[in-house]
Amino acid sequence: MISKSLLPWVKRCLFLLALLPLSRLFWLGFTDQLGANPVEFVEHSTGTWALVILLLTLTVTPLHRVPGWGWLVTLRRMLGLFMCFYASLHVLAYIWLDHWFEWSAIIQDIAKHPYVLVGFLAFICTIPLAVTSTDGMMRRLGKRWKTLHSLVYLIAILAVLHYLWLVKQDISQPLGYTLILAGLLFFRLHRKLKNKI
C-alpha cells in the first residue's frame, strides 16, 4: 500500500526514469560512443524502448489486481504516453536520420516491405490513443474510450511482428518479447473466460 502523499513522488520518479534511455542516447552521442553505425544504434535503441515500455504498460493490469497494488493503475497513462514518445523518436530517426525525408523512398519502403509496413501501422495506431489520453477525452468518449484503447493489443502484436520480421536469422531477441506478450495476452483471455463461467 502506498499512501496518497507518496504517489506524486512515485510519478515524478517514473517520469525521470522513463527519460533515461533518451538521456543515454544524448550522452553516447556527445561522447562519440554510438558505435560504427550510429543511425542503426539510434533506431534500434528507440524501437526497443518503445516496445519495452509498451509491455510494461500491459503488465500494469495484471499487477494492479494484487491487493495493495491498485495505485499502479495511475501510472499507466504516463507509461502509455512514453511508449508513444519513444515510438515517435523511432519513426523520426527512420524518416530523418535514415532517409533524410526522401518521401518517395520512404513510401516505397513501407509499401514493399512487410516489416516496415507493420511497424508503420503500429505507430499510426498509437496516435489516436495518445490524443484521447486526457481526462476530458475519457469523459467525452465514455464507454467507447475503452473500446478504442483496446487498440493497444493490436499495436503490441504489430510491434513484435515488426521485430520478428526484421531480424536476419537469429530470432532469439524478438522471440523473447513475443513470449512475454503472449503471456500478458493469455492472462487477459484466461480472466475473461473465467468471469464468463
Partner 1 sequence: PALQHIQKTTYGREEKLTSYRDITSYNNFYEFGTSKEQPAENAGRFKTAPWTIAVEGEVLKPRQLGMEELMKLAPLEERIYRMRCVEGWSMVIPWVGIPLASLIKLVQPTANAKFIEFISAADDATMPGVRAPILDWPYREALRLDEARHPLTILALGLYGEMLPGQNGAPVRLVVPWKYGFKGGKSIVRIRFVEKMPQTTWMRAASTEYGFYANVNPTVDHPRWSQASERRIGTGLFTKRIATQMFNGYAEQVGQLYTGMDLRKHF
Q: Is 149 in the site for partner 1 (CB under 8 A)?
A: no
Q: Is 100 in the site for partner 1 (CB under 8 A)?
A: yes
Chosen residue from 14, 34, 148, 175 binding partner 1 by CB under 8 A = 34
The sign of the dihedral angle between the CA atoms of 157, 160, 163, 167 is negative
Q: Is 112 in the site for partner 1 (CB under 8 A)?
A: yes
Residues whose CB is less than 8 angstroms from the CB of residue 8 and which lie 6 or more positions away in sequence, other chains included? none
Nearer to partner 1, 28 or 78 (CB): 28
Q: Is there a contact between 160 and 175 (Cβ–Cβ < 8 Å)? A: no
d(CA 57, CA 45): 18
d(CA 131, CA 141): 12
The span of 69-77, 93-101, 118-126, 185-193 binding partner 1 (CB under 8 A) equals: 93-101
d(CA 190, CA 197): 11
* DSSP conformational letter for 195: H
Q: Is 98 in the site for partner 1 (CB under 8 A)?
A: yes
* DSSP conformational letter for 151: H
Q: Is 78 in the site for partner 1 (CB under 8 A)?
A: no
Residues whose CB is less than 8 angstroms from the CB of residue 74 and which lie 6 or more positions away in sequence, other chains included? 7, 11
The span of 5-13, 59-67, 112-120, 148-156 binding partner 1 (CB under 8 A) equals: 112-120
d(CA 110, CA 153): 22
Q: What residue type is 14 in one-letter code? A: L
The span of 7-15, 74-82, 84-92, 167-175 binding partner 1 (CB under 8 A) equals: 167-175
At closest approach, how far in Å is the CB of 182 from partner 1?
Answer: 22
Q: Is 99 in the site for partner 1 (CB under 8 A)?
A: yes
The span of 52-60, 67-75, 162-170, 187-195 binding partner 1 (CB under 8 A) equals: 162-170
Q: Is 62 in the site for partner 1 (CB under 8 A)?
A: no
Q: Is 115 in the site for partner 1 (CB under 8 A)?
A: yes
Q: Count residues contacting partner 1 (CB under 8 A)?
A: 25
Residues whose CB is less than 8 angstroms from the CB of residue 9 and which lie 6 or more positions away in sequence, other chains included? none
Please give the residue ranges that form the binding site for partner 1 (CB under 8 A). 29, 34-40, 42, 97-100, 105, 108-109, 112-115, 165-166, 168-170
